[in-house]
Amino acid sequence: MVLFVLAPAFGLFVERVVMRPVQGLGEAERLVMTIALLSGLIAAARWIWNPNVPRSLPTFFANSAPLHIGSATITWHQAITMMVAVAVAVSLRLLLHRTRAGAEMRATVDDRALAGLTGADPLRANRVAWILGIQLAAVGGILIAPELTLDATQLSLLIVSAYTAAIFGRLRSVPMTFAGAVVVGCMESYLTGYLPDNSLLTGLRLAAPALMLFVALLVFPHGRLHGRNIRLRPVPVPTIRGTAIFAVAIVVFGVVLGTVLSQSDLITYGAIFSLGIVALSFVPLAGYAGQVSLCQLSMAGIGAITWAHLGAHGQLWALAAAIAIPGAVGGLIALPALRLSGIYLALGTAAFAVILDDWIFTLPSFRILGVRISLFDQGSVQAVGPRLFGFQLRTGTELMVASAVALALASVSVAWLRRRRFGRQLIALRDSEAAYAMLGGNLLVARVMVFALAAGIAGLGGALYAMQQQSVTAQQFSFVTGLPLFLIAVVGGLAYVGDGLFTGTLLDGPLNAMVAIAPWSANLAAILPALAGIGLGRNPDGLTPAVRRDWEPVARHRIALAVSGVAVTLLWVLRLMHVINGWVLFGGALAVLLALRGYPALRPAATGEPEIPVEWWGLRRDWRPADEEVLARGIARG
């Protein structure tokens, strides 16, 4: 049932519903679909099977006598596993190199469009690949489940070990992949049995597969995996006026929330702006430069640690250190990862995040050259608010407003970056690294700078998050915890400055409110980001530009804006006077916005702007600043 019914059916579902709509999009958008599946299936498994209930499976032929080969003792389950592994390796080798289906799959990876022109069927190749891949994953799960605890997160993170083995074969060679799997398995076993009993090395065994994956990515040569039929999407240039209004709106939103929420709610919802800053770090890195990173929440964790230890008394210089130290770490990651791109870069950053989770963040305090180094101290760290002009921010309201101001300033900075030369260089780097280098661009400098910039932004968000939570643990910055953040950021639109506020609000607002209203919906709230990520194919530009288009007519209608502003301000004053509670305030504000949006005179035109040929731009309609970039892209593609 699992191998020949459920696995093929799920493979067909993934290929047809999830992956096919995003086949022609960028690597970040396509990668987010598989991450959405990973995050969603973990949440679904925790929903269906209580993770607090221990479960185990019996091995095959558990009551049979084991086999003895010399001094080695091999159980029947181990023998079956080895025989199946050999059979799978031989069968895959024959399939990929001796059959038409295998040739189609390999050709589709190299160049999807060219494979179609030569008579191959890329859709069929993808379908067969997904079915076969999920069947093999099911075989692996059946064989390894009796050896491990049935925990969704633990079993899902076995993908790190699996990818380590696959990288040995450069995702192409079956024999080398098989050899890599043997090396990884032996390494884990030897570390379990012979690793010295040292508190600094306790987490090394758990982090060893991720560490080996990171090293393998850097050592083994590999080429690009994406085809040449990817449609690059333009990156809009934010206007000065629009960016200023948006920044003011963020601060106003923070002031309203900070003054109407209770102290307990400020802890629950206070992370809207700090997590928004972490999400904003994806915009220059992935949205502008096209560099996919899955360790941004880990960078935020480094920022939180830095602030907790250096800013124990609210010293403002420690906040600069919380930006600089993660920035330096991000730059160091970019140096060895210079030759990585696409899925390889995503794997490398994911491996780095898992190394931090399983080893670095779990280390006890230690000394290097007489200097005491302390991270999470195998527990939690305390954080306080910063001291500004002799006044220390202590309350949740003050910290929320400070976080809102920080998000506004960070958003303005990212928008300013897009308008500058370096922003255009990053977009050129995303479009074609080869062309960027050929025209005189320095790949090393550009990558190091954008990774450092993004890590510094994430570090700022992590420091503010630690201040608001007052106490943070390593689990709050884990790789799995960061997946929903990445998913919602991609769904919001990585190319748009408003993505930070969108991600923070959606991740920490409605989802937490849904759980507060209906505690039984906690599992549903955990799975919603994955469902949103799967729905990305229907709106590849993200939700931020769609929301902006819908509300542009409202923003141009001054009378409507004034009336709605007065109504919301009145509700806010009533809440400050304790005439109404917070739910009435937000419900009333939502009703005002819906009424404003539904007013016929403020609805966007159904037909939209008529399409004007490029040769008439500047004549039949006004010339726009973005037209120059559109023409340059068209000439480059031609």
Give pLDDT tens digits for 242-293.
Answer: 899 899 999 999 998 888 888 888 888 889 999 999 999 999 998 898 888 8
Question: Cβ distance 47 to 525 under 8 Å?
Answer: no
Predicted confidence (pLDDT) per residue in 505-547, tens digit: 988 888 888 887 888 888 888 888 888 887 776 676 778 777 7
Phi-psi region of 293 (alpha: psi -120 to 50; beta: other; left: phi over 0): beta
Burial class (CB in 10 A: 0-12, 13-18, 19+), 36: buried
Predicted confidence (pLDDT) per residue in 45-89, tens digit: 988 888 888 888 888 888 888 888 888 889 999 999 999 999 998
| Kind plus residue range of the DSSP H or E element containing 368 | strand 366-368
Phi-psi region of 56 (alpha: psi -120 to 50; beta: other; left: phi over 0): beta
* SS3 of residue 74 by DSSP: strand
Q: Give the residue carrying structure tokens 């102290």.
A: 263
Q: What is the DSSP letter of 509?
A: T
Helix axes 499-508, 510-517, angle to 10 degrees: 10
Could you give the CA distance from residue 354 to residue 556 in angstroms, rounded to a whole number? 47
Q: What angle do CA 393, 398, 401 make, to 5 degrees?
A: 130
The answer, yes or no, to whether residue 423 has pLDDT greater than 80, is yes
**DSSP strands (E only) in 404-561:** 471-473
Confidence of residue 625 (pLDDT cuts 50, 70, 90): confident
How far does the chain reach from its first CA to its final CA, in angstroms? 51
Confidence of residue 123 (pLDDT cuts 50, 70, 90): confident
Identity of residue 293: S
Could you give the CA distance from residue 282 to residue 486 in angstroms, rounded to a whole number? 8
